[in-house]
């Protein structure tokens, strides 16, 4: 489904377990897990409302008051660990790819951590934009570096 925001329409996908994909305006949403029967419309509508509010808050650089359940089960074990580590970065703070790798007990899997960030199916709400390269480098961003810059700038205040 589509979520209208001041920054444009985002595409959100839900599985029977929660929000499983979020795509920037003009981007294709990632494929949803095969275990994705169209669940109870009732419940999904509630998740969608929560998602819309959380997304708008996040885009404004604020901490969402409520979160929809996230279904990150499509990732490998390693990817899910990285994504959980991302969720532990407080709003307004940043980490390096190396710090993320260390945080999940794989201090040398730095590059793999970067790859896992790029595979994040729920950008913005799973804040992969808070991960920078070493020495203050911006690093990459699959949605486009403009989005990374915008999100970071909004959060610092």
Partner DNA sequence: CCCTAGCGGTGCT
Partner DNA sequence: AGCACCGCTAGGG
Q: Which is nearer to DNA, 30 or 48 (CB)?
A: 30
Residue (of 70, 78, 1, 74) closest to 34 by Cα position: 74
Token pair for 96 = 């390096």
The region that residue 156 occupies, defined by phi over 0 for left and psi between -120 and 50 for alpha, beta otherwise, is beta
| Contact with DNA (CB under 7 A) among 85, 141, 151, 152 | 141
Number of residues that bind DNA (CB under 7 A): 35
Taking the complex as a whole, the smallest distance from the CB of residue 131 to DNA amounts, in Å, to: 4
Active site residue 128: yes
Q: For the segment 60-99, give every residue that binds DNA (CB under 7 A).
A: 75-79, 96-98
Q: Does 33 bind DNA (CB under 7 A)?
A: no
| Contact with DNA (CB under 7 A) among 66, 137, 153, 156 | 137
| Contact with DNA (CB under 7 A) among 109, 122, 124, 152 | 109
Q: Does 30 bind DNA (CB under 7 A)?
A: no
Q: Which is nearer to DNA, 69 or 139 (CB)?
A: 139
Contact 109, 101 (CB under 8 A): yes
Q: Does 50 bind DNA (CB under 7 A)?
A: no
Q: How many CB atoms lie within 10 A of CB 156?
A: 10
Q: Does 121 bind DNA (CB under 7 A)?
A: no
Give the DSSP letter string of 29-91: PPPPPSS-----HHHHHHHHHHHHHHHHHHHTT---S----B--TTS-HHHHHHHHHHHTSPT
Q: Mind telling me the catalytic residues?
A: 128
């Amino acid at each position: 489904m589509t979520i209208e925001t001041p920054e444009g329409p985002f595409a959100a996908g839900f599985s029977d377990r929660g929000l499983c994909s979020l795509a920037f305006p003009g981007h294709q949403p990632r494929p949803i897990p095969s275990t994705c029967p169209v669940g109870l419309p009732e419940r999904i509508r509630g998740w969608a409302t929560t998602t819309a509010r959380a997304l708008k808050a996040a885009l404004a650089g604020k901490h969402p008051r409520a979160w929809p359940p996230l279904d990150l089960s499509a990732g490998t074990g390693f990817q899910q660990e990285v994504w959980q580590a991302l969720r532990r970065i407080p709003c307004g703070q940043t980490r390096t790819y190396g710090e993320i790798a260390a945080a999940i007990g794989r201090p040398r899997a730095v590059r793999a951590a970067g790859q896992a960030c790029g595979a994040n199916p729920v950008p913005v709400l799973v804040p992969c934009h808070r991960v920078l390269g070493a020495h203050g480098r911006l690093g990459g961003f699959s949605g486009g570096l403009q989005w990374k810059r915008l999100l970071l700038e909004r959060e610092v205040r």
